[in-house]
């Protein structure tokens, strides 16, 4: 059995550094990753094309500068971008395509696949590797998630992912969702894990055992919340499980240790707040926003996250974090 291993250090990993990677730093990581034999390198602001904003946080450079920097040094590996309809546009995607991006992952909330139709169709018509990305998949039961995935398939997606954006799943949850997608779709199935409950690698292994043929990681686990499945660890675990990835494990280790680790402002760990992200089922990219709001209003970040989970707040509702923090401060 074989799977396509995708590295998202240069997109999801942007959350870990407050989107501060420079094009030169991205290029250095890509140089180290390119010989490792991965299927895709994903590059963009943490919230995808167009994400650099007051709402989501400004990046050190533009998405197009990042794409150009990585395309210039990626000789073996296809460069992908992420696009969230409503944040990114087809015009932005066309520019990224012109600068050399060969793949796109079109991401929606797990109940809103219908808003991806024009973006997926356009990318497929342009010959891009076209992937559907159903975020916050823990919020939808497997059968309903599969119906949303079928919509993405009908628009032209070649792969559809179940995305554990909150790191809220445990292995059975990952397995059931991948099985539902596998049984419903004729295209390939992918899985993207976050590590807020410490289950990212285990969930990814369960997803592969259930039929996922695309899985994501990031070097050193870099990513929103407690991060993603660490690419180097995931590659080793898949090899031990008898799954072929085509990845050079030592090259991944060296890229993680020698190139990425020195760029990190702090280690990617499961701390109190990120653990609560998974426990409460809150979007992983809310972590830094919540920590800043908690400090500003003098409240406990964990209490904010539990309340956000109770309200089932999703990506795009970052303003609610401030609202909840202010309410908690007034009530105390």
Q: How far apart are CA 23 and CA 32, in angstroms?
A: 14
Residue 163 bridge partners (DSSP)? 192
Q: In terms of Cα–Cα distance, which of 71, 3, 2 is closest to 42?
A: 71
Question: Which token pair is 319?
Answer: 């303003």
Print the SS3 string covering 159-186: EEEEECCCCCCCHHHHHHHHHHHHHHCC
Q: How far apart are CA 303 and CA 324, in angstroms?
A: 10
Q: How far apart are CA 173 and CA 268, in angstroms?
A: 24
Q: Would residue 192 show up in a list of annotated catalytic residues for this protein? A: no
CA-angle at 279, arms to 21 and 53, nearest 5°: 30
Q: Tokens 């409460």 belong to which residue?
A: 280
DSSP H/E element including 154? helix 142-155
Set 15, 109, 176, 289: catalytic member: 15
User: Catalytic residue positions?
Assistant: 15
């Amino acid at each position: 059995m074989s799977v396509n291993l995708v590295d998202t250090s240069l997109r999801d990993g942007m959350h870990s550094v407050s989107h501060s990677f420079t094009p030169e730093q991205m290029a250095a990581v890509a140089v180290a990753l390119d010989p490792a034999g991965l299927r895709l390198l994903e590059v963009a602001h943490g919230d995808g094309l167009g994400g650099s904003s007051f709402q989501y946080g400004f990046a050190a450079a533009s998405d197009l500068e990042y794409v150009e920097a990585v395309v210039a040094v990626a000789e073996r590996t296809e460069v992908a971008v992420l696009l969230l309809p409503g944040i990114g546009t087809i015009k932005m995607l066309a520019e990224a395509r012109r600068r050399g991006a060969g793949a796109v992952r079109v991401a929606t909330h797990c109940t809103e696949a219908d808003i991806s139709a024009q973006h997926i169709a356009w990318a497929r018509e342009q010959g891009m590797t076209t992937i559907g990305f159903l975020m916050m998949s823990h919020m939808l039961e497997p059968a309903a998630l599969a119906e949303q995935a079928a919509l993405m398939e009908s628009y032209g997606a070649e792969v559809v992912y179940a995305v554990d954006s909150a790191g809220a799943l445990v292995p059975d949850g990952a397995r059931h969702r991948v099985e539902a997608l596998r049984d419903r779709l004729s295209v390939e199935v992918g899985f993207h894990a976050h590590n807020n409950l410490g289950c990212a690698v285990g969930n990814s292994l369960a997803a592969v055992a259930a039929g996922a043929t695309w899985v994501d990681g990031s070097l050193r686990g870099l990513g929103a919340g407690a991060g993603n499945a660490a690419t180097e660890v995931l590659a080793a675990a898949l090899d031990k499980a008898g799954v072929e990835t085509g990845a050079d494990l030592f090259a991944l280790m060296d890229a993680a240790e020698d190139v990425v680790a020195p760029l990190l402002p702090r280690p990617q760990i499961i701390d109190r707040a990120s653990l609560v992200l998974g426990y409460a089922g809150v979007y992983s990219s809310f972590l830094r926003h919540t920590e800043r709001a908690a400090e500003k209003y003098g409240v406990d970040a964990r209490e904010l996250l539990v309340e956000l989970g109770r309200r089932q707040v999703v990506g795009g509702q970052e303003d609610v974090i401030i609202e909840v923090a202010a309410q908690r401060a007034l009530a105390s």
